[in-house]
């Protein structure tokens, strides 16, 4: 440890992934607080560093050293006398990197995201609010070791997959989520292969009548999990529908013919 200036004591700190684990090499944030609060009740910050193994020159006395590594944190009280010292922090944490695919083809970043919850969904013990929302593919999220529940959303409709993953201290966990879905483009046309009609209101529902997605446009795109659906188009006061099927990984256009549309009228209710 380097020699401290007059009246100061040297404190060196470092973190390990476990009692016998490797030293945490990067992505750490150290903060040193006095252990006596001010009149406001806050503990004054006296030093901070983003180095992996920083050295602080402090006055003799008590301190609270706080370490942050992503979503993993650790804090402990340190009392400094006249002798310099080095303090080790045990930080059981690791990394989680998520990806998603459809039919063995990776999904691009702009179309899929992940929410990470603490606990196991399979065991019925998961938090109600995500610890981390909107993680992107290949993003490394630093977490305390343990079990997490991942919700992968592809598109903005019903292509959602859930999975439990385990993060181990000092390790990077790679997890691949497999979606069974496809991208569908809706078109209202006067004839097969014709130009899509603008200002069309769309509803995608299940055969049982549950609404999955609503949109407005000439050719909206929606990602749907595999299964059977009904596309309903409303244009210029008329309504037409078509049944269609979504198959794994088979992106396609679904054309709805306007020629079969029926006019929709409204009238006041009478007793």
- Residue 123: predicted pLDDT: 83
- 163 shares its domain with 213: no
Tell me the two tokens of residue 74. Answer: 């650790």
Whether residue 15 contacts residue 91, with contact meaning beta carbons closer than 8 Å, is answered with yes
- 110 shares its domain with 174: yes
Would you say residue 115 lies in a domain? Answer: yes
- 163 shares its domain with 200: no
- Residue 270: predicted pLDDT: 43
Would you say residue 161 lies in a domain? Answer: yes
Would you say residue 166 lies in a domain? Answer: yes
Would you say residue 158 lies in a domain? Answer: yes
CATH code assigned at 202:
2.60.40.1120
Q: How confident is the model at residue 230 (pLDDT cuts 50, 70, 90)?
A: very high
- 189 shares its domain with 201: yes
- 208 shares its domain with 252: yes
Residue-wise pLDDT tens digits, 171-185: 999 999 999 999 999
Beta-strand pair 93-102/172-179: parallel
CA distance 148 to 163: 8
Q: Of 220, 190, 189, which Cα lies nearest the Cα of 203? A: 220
Q: How confident is the model at residue 269 (pLDDT cuts 50, 70, 90)?
A: very low
Mean pLDDT rounded to a whole number for the chain = 92
Tell me the two tokens of residue 3. Answer: 């020699």
- Residue 271: predicted pLDDT: 41
Would you say residue 3 lies in a domain? Answer: no
Domain end: 141, 161, 179, which one?
A: 179
Residues 6+ apart with CB under 8 A from 39: none
Task: Show the domain range for 18.
Answer: 9-90
Would you say residue 243 lies in a domain? Answer: yes
- 172 shares its domain with 160: yes
- Residue 201: predicted pLDDT: 96
- 99 shares its domain with 175: yes
Quick check: 260 pLDDT over 90? no
Residues 6+ apart with CB under 8 A from 180: 102, 225, 226, 248
Q: What is the pTM of this model?
A: 0.85
CATH code assigned at 85:
2.60.40.10
- 193 shares its domain with 259: yes
Domain tally, the chain: 3
- 43 shares its domain with 20: yes
- Paired with 223 in beta bridges are 183
Would you say residue 271 lies in a domain? Answer: no
- 158 shares its domain with 185: no
Q: How confident is the model at residue 111 (pLDDT cuts 50, 70, 90)?
A: very high
Quick check: 266 pLDDT over 50? no
Whether residue 29 contacts residue 68, with contact meaning beta carbons closer than 8 Å, is answered with yes
- 112 shares its domain with 160: yes
Residues 6+ apart with CB under 8 A from 191: 257, 259
Would you say residue 165 lies in a domain? Answer: yes
Domain end: 90, 123, 155, which one?
A: 90
Quick check: 133 pLDDT over 50? yes
Percent of the chain at pLDDT above 70? 96
- 98 shares its domain with 129: yes
Q: Cα-atom radius of gyration of the chain, to the nearest Å?
A: 29
Tell me the two tokens of residue 83. Answer: 């002798």
The Cα-based distances of 152 to 17, 27, 85 in angstroms read: 28, 26, 46
- Residue tagged 């992968």 (tokens): 152
Domain end: 150, 179, 208, which one?
A: 179
């Amino acid at each position: 440890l380097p020699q401290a200036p007059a009246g100061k004591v040297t404190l060196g700190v470092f973190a390990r992934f476990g009692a016998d684990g490797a030293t945490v090499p990067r992505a750490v944030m150290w903060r040193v607080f006095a252990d006596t609060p001010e009149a406001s009740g806050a503990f004054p910050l006296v030093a901070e560093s983003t180095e992996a193994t920083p050295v602080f020159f402090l006055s003799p006395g008590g301190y609270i050293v706080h370490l942050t590594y992503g979503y993993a944190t650790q804090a402990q009280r340190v009392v400094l006398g006249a002798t310099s010292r080095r303090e080790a922090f045990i930080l059981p944490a690791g990394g989680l990197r998520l990806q998603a695919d459809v039919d063995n083809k990776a999904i691009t970043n702009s179309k899929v995201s992940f929410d990470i919850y603490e606990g196991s969904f399979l065991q019925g013990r998961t938090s109600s609010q995500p610890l981390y929302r909107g993680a992107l593919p290949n993003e490394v999220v630093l977490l305390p070791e343990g079990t997490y529940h991942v919700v992968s959303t592809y598109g903005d409709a019903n292509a959602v997959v859930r999975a439990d993953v385990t993060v181990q201290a000092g390790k990077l966990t790679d997890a691949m989520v497999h979606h069974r879905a496809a991208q569908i483009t809706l078109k209202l046309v006067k004839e097969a292969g014709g130009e899509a009609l603008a200002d069309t209101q769309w509803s995608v529902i299940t055969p049982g009548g549950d609404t999955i997605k609503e949109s407005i446009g000439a050719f909206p795109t929606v990602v749907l999990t595999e299964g059977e659906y009904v596309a309903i188009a409303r244009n210029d006061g008329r309504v037409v529908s078509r049944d269609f099927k979504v198959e794994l990984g088979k992106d396609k256009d679904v054309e709805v013919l306007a020629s079969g549309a029926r006019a929709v009228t409204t009238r006041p209710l009478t007793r």
